[in-house]
Amino acid sequence: MSRLIEPGASVLVTGASGLLGGSVAQRLSDEGYQVTVLQRGASGLTGVREVRGSLSDPGVVARAAAGQDAVIHMAAKVSVSGRHQDFVEVNVRGTQRLLDAAVDAGVTDFLHVSSPSVAHAGASLIGAGASPADPEHAVGSYAQTKAEAELIAEARGARDLNVLILRPHLVWGPGDGQLTRRIIDRARSGRMPILGSGAALVDTLYIENAVDAFLAGLRRLPQIAGQRLVLTNGEPRPIGELITGIAAAGGAPAPRLRLAPGLAKGLGAVVERAWALSEKLFGPRADEPPMTKFLAEQLSTAHWFDQRATQQALDWTPRISMDEGLTLLRDHIRSTGKV
């Protein structure tokens, strides 16, 4: 049987300032891995070696990769707006630099974190598998550049490295400043819409289940390299029910704003153009547009995935259900006063 990547191995984790990256890096350290993290600012983690800097700096990337047995690459520019070139620099060129540095440093195993959006062209995904990344038809700069990066990682894996692609889908839970906080904040202000009937089935992934899956993927990477796997809780829910549940966990009222999907997509396209013009004239904005074409598609189309191949390959099943996760989120917010 092929080897496993066990505690004691040296592992570089990029993007450790984010919830998922930081949670994975801390768990690895707690379980006895020798962890190096690479990100711009302080990670706030304990027991790890920190390399501060950007994926744009080849010297920084080379220093982080030196002496590593494996890499978990999570760093990315994640947004629904912004200059396309900025996404290219981080998501495409940054991935290329990291792969080059990993090969030069003698790294053997590379876990590349992608997204189901790389293979989502806007139509519903019902019980789907992990289709090949498709930059031409992916919607928006984030999905397009993540698709390009995934293809680069796969190609490099065919020559120089053991590469495993994991695509976590809509990670949420305590500490999540992306999906969770946005839903709660917008619901509190009355700006969280339900598109159409809200009945489209969508699957998500609770944060602790995501961490478990990443550690399982790293451990078994030499045995399952070459695969693409989507990670979810395996519990599709109507999108309206999901949004209402997360809002309620944050003490926010159920969304009352309803929009027809076609209208939302049209408004999203108009808002995107206005946002791009604003950023061209006045520079990058700190906020994000209230609606985009990509967001409208995500809120109105089904996207859930067959998890049988994923669970078999990783020897992993989610241990926290959706309902348990909502309860944990509610209790966390009540006890800390923040998401």
Q: Which is catalytic among the residues 142, 275, 294, 304?
A: 142
For 324, list phi and psi in degrees, rounded to 5: -65, -40
Q: What is the SS3 string spanning the chain?
A: CCCCCCCCCEEEEECCCCHHHHHHHHHHHHCCCEEEEEECCCCCCCCCEEEECCCCCHHHHHHHHCCCCEEEECCCCCCCCCCHHHHHHHHHHHHHHHHHHHHHCCCCEEEEECCHHHHCCCCCEEEECCCCCCCCCCCHHHHHHHHHHHHHHHHHHCCCCEEEEEEECCEECCCCCCHHHHHHHHHHCCCCCEECCCCCEECCEEHHHHHHHHHHHHHHHHHHCCCEEEECCCCCEEHHHHHHHHHHHCCCCCCCCEECHHHHHHHHHHHHHHHHHHHHHHCCCCCCCCCCHHHHHHHHCCEEECCHHHHHHHCCCCCCCHHHHHHHHHHHHHHHCCC
Q: Which two structure tokens, joined as six digits, stand for 287?
A: 């906020």
How many Cα atoms occupy the beta-carbon half-sphere of 292 within 13 Å?
18
Report d(CA 326, CA 138) in Å as an integer: 30
Catalytic residue flag (residue 142) = yes
Report d(CA 138, CA 120) in Å as an integer: 6
Active site residues: 142
